Structure 1
C-alpha cells in the first residue's frame, strides 16, 4: 500500500464519504403531503398532536399560539368545567389542534407558531418531542437560517413550520377539513381510514400515494367530513368549517357552532362562555340565535328559525328565515361532550383519535376500503384521479438504495478500489 497513488486514495475516500452522506440523508427523510398554492388565501386545518408530557390546556395552546377554548371545543371537551383552561392533560393524550393554514413559498403550511428555547433544548428534541414529529429538525433549521444547529441560545425564538393542507375545503366535492396525522409504528393505512370514516382509496388519492405502504414518522393528510358555513366574505369568521363530531367557538367566545352527529349542517347557538356579547336576537322576532318555531299544516311544516350569520365589525349578525318543510324537525342533536381528560384510556397510546360517534339509532359502518390498482402507474405518483398534491418522500429508486445494506455498498466499493490500485 506504500506505493499507492495518494491522489487516487484521496479521491476514493472522498467518494466513500459522499456515499455515506447520501445514504444518511435518504434514511432520515420523511414523507408529508405537499399542496402547491399560488394565492394568499388561508383555511382552517387541524394538527394531530400527542402530548410529550403532562401539560395544562393553556400550555398546549401556547405551544401553537392558538385559543385554549378552541383546542377544547375542537376535541368536544366540555368547556363549562371550572377553570378548565388550567386543567392538566395527561401525557400521550392525542388532541386535534386547530390552526390556520397559509400559502408560503408556493406550498401550504402554517408558520404562525413560535417557540422559545429552554436550556436543555436541541433542534431534534424540539421537533421530535415537543412537537411530536410534526416538523423535522432540518425544517426548523432552514426556517430560522441556523448555520450551527448545535448552538442554540436560551430564550431564542424559533419559527416552527407545521404541515397543513386545504384542498379548497372539500373532499370528493363535499365539505372537509384536513388533519395532519403523524404515522406511528402500530398504524396501517386501513386502520387510519377506518378510524376516520374514510377509505383507503381516498387517503391514497389525497396523499398522492402509489401504494398502501406507510412508515413511522410519515405525515398524512386525513380528510374529515365537516359542516361549512355560508357567512359573507367580509365576516371575520368567513369560511368557518367545523369537523363532524366537534365544536368551534367564534364571535369572541360568544357563539358556539357544532357539526353532527345527525347531519352535516352547521348549527350555531350562544356559547356557554357568553358574558358581554352583542344582541343575539333576530330582528322583528323574539327568537335568539339557534331558536326555531315549527307549526304543522296540511301543506307541511312551517319552520321559522333564527340563524347566526357571521361576526362583522365586532357585531353578531343574525338572520330570520321562514321555510315550508315536508316534516317538522326533531330536537337538535349535538356531538357528545366529554369531561376534561385525566388519563389516557385508549387501547393504544399510538392510536389515532376516534371517529365521530353514531347518532345512537343505528351502527354506522365504515365505507368500503378497496385498494385501487397501481398497475401501469409510476412509483411515487398519485393514482389516476388523485389530487394535485404530492408526497415529498424520495422516489422508489432512491428508497431502494436507502434500504440496501451499507455494509454491502462498502464491500463492493473497496473491492473496486483495490482492483484498480
Structure 2
C-alpha cells in the first residue's frame, strides 16, 4: 500500500485553528470608549513602578506635575524636597492624566518617551509603562515600519488608555482608573478594593462574564467629588476621587474629597508660592472659611468657596444659606508619608484579591458592539456608562506563545509520512 501523502490543507486548517484558539486564550483586552467631540476629562492610570524612581522621574514619564501625583495618592506634600523622594520599585500609584477624544476614541496622547540604548518597543510598553500600552500601539502611533530599529533619543508618542463616561457612574460623580489586571487579581477582588461591584465593572467594561486575564486593562469607576467651575476656568471639569486630593491654580489651591463625601472642598495649598488674593469679595472670609450661627430657625451657614482659576486669578464665591442643623467639621482624607518600601498591606500595593470569586468561567467576548438603544446581555442598561473591548495582542505574539512541544508534535506529524 502506498504511503499516504500528507494533507497540507488539513494541517494548515489545524494550525490556524490552534493559533486562533491561542489568541482567544492569551490576548489581553482594554476598554474602548467611543467619542465624537473634542472635549476632555480628568482620568487616572494605575501604574506600577518598574524600578526605584524619584517622584519627579515618575511624573516625567507621563509629563504630569509631580505634586499632582503626590496629591492624587494622598501623600503629604509638606515633606522637604518631596519631589526628589525616591519611590520603591513595584509601588502601585495613581497617575492623574487628561483624557482626550482622538480619532473617535478616548485616549491620552500627551505622553512622550525619549528612547535610550537597549530600548525596544516591547520593553517600553511592558516594563517602563507597566503594560498600560502595547508595543503595537506605540508602533502604530508613531508610524514605525521596522520596530527592531529604534534610534537612541527618538521621541515616541505613548498612547495611554483612559475613559470619561461623562464623569458619572450610575448618575453619580465618578472618575475612571485604567487598571492593568495582575495574575493574582479576580474581578471580585478588584471590585472590593475600589468600593464598587462586580456588576458595575462588567457594565462599564462591556463584559460578558467575570473572567479576566493578566494584562487586561479595566476601566474602574471611583466615587468622586465633582466641581462646578465655569467653562472659561482652566480647571473646568475638575473631579477628585473620594479619599484623595488635587492641586490646582498654579499650586495655590488644594481640593479634597473627604471620606464618604460628595462635596468638593478647596482651601489654600500648603506650598509656599505666590498666589493671587483668596479673599471673598465683600467679606472678611478667606478661601475655605466657613462660619455657622445657630438660630431658632436652624443654622445660618456662610462660606467662601473656590470657583476656578482663570487668567492667573483665583475665583472665589461667597454663599449663605439656612440649614436645618449646623454642619460638622470638614473631613479630610488622611495624608501618608512618602512611601519608602512596599508591603502587601501597603495602601499603595496592588490590590490583594481572593483566589476565587465563586463565579463561572465564562469568557469575555473578544469584540463588543455597543447597542444604540435598549440593552442586551453583557451590556449595561440604558443610561449606564459602557465601552467596548479591544484586543491588545497580535497573532504573531500569540503564535510565539504556542507550547514548543505542541509545535514539534505537529511538525513530526507532517514530516513522518515523507520519511517512510
Q: TM-score, normalised by structure 1?
A: 0.85
Closer, same or farther in 2 for the Cα pair 1:227/1:112, shift >3 Å? same
The CA deviation at 1:346 is 2.4
| Aligned partner of residue 85 in structure 1, secondary structure | helix
What is the distance in 2 between the residues matched to 1:227 and 1:82? 29
Alpha-carbon offset, residue 29 of structure 1: 2.8
Structure 1 gap segments, 5+ residues each: 355-368, 395-400
Aligned partner (choices 242, 245, 248) of residue 247 of structure 1: 245
- For 1:81 and 1:350, the matched residues in 2 are separated by 18
What is the 5 A alignment of 1:380-395? 381=368, 382-385=378-381, 387-393=385-391
- What is residue 95 of structure 2 aligned with on the other side? 97
Q: Which of 172, 175, 197 is the aligned partner of 2:173?
A: 175
1:330 to 328, 331, 338: 328
User: Could you say what secondary structure the match of 1:303 adopts?
Assistant: strand
Q: Distance in 1 between matches of 2:21 and 2:145?
A: 22
- Using the alignment, how far apart are the partners of 2:146 and 2:134 within structure 1? 16
Contact 1:200 1:371 in 2 (8 A): no
Change (3 A) 1:148 1:20: farther
**Residue among 77, 83, 86 paired with 1:85:** 83
SS at match of 1:125: helix
Which structure would you say has the larger RCO, counting Cα contacts within 8 Å and 6 or more residues apart?
Answer: 2
Task: Give 1:390 shift.
Answer: 0.8
**CA shift in 2, pair 1:353/1:83, >3 Å:** farther
Maintained 8 Å contact 2:42/2:175: yes
Match in the other structure for 1:41: 39
CA deviation map 1:251-290 (0-9, x unaligned): 0100000001142100000000142100000011110010
Distance of 1:404 and 1:5 partners within structure 2? 26
The answer to whether the aligner puts 1:75 opposite 2:73 as a matched pair is yes
3-state secondary structure, aligned to 2:283: coil
| Counterpart check, 1:52 vs 2:71 | no
Q: Counterpart of 2:329 in 1: which secondary structure? A: coil
Task: Name the counterpart of 2:136.
Answer: 138
1:191 equivalent in alignment to 2:189? yes
What is the deviation of 1:312?
1.2
**Other structure's SS at 1:301 match:** strand
Q: C-alpha distance in 2, partners of 1:379/1:250? A: 40
Alignment correspondent of 2:286: 288
Note the 1:133-282 alignment, pairs <5 A: 133-282=131-280
Contact 1:48-1:95 within 8 A present in 2 as well = yes
Q: Secondary structure at the match of 1:32?
A: strand
Task: State how many pairs are aligned.
Answer: 397
Check the 8 A contact 1:302/1:323 in 2, yes or no.
yes
Separation of aligned partners in 2, 1:145 and 1:254: 41
Q: Which residue number corresponds to residue 398 of structure 1?
A: none
Which stretch shows the higher mean deviation, 82-91 or 377-386?
377-386
Shift of 1:407: 6.7
Please show how residues 369-380 of structure 1 align to structure 2 within 5 Å.
none
Aligned-CA RMSD value: 3.5
**CA 1:81–1:351 in structure 2 vs 1: closer, same or farther (change >3 Å)?**
closer
Q: Displacement, 1:345?
A: 2.0
In structure 2, distance between residues paired with 1:417 and 1:388: 50
What secondary structure does 2:319 align onto? Answer: strand
Asked if structure 2 preserves the Cα contact closer than 8 Å seen for 1:196 and 1:224, the reply is: yes
Aligned to 1:65: 63
Does the CA contact (< 8 Å) of 1:93 and 1:349 recur in 2? no
- Structure-2 change in CA distance of 1:236 and 1:330 (3 Å): same
Tell me which stretches of 4 or more aligned residues in structure 1 moved more than 6 Å: 3-6, 11-21, 369-374, 401-420
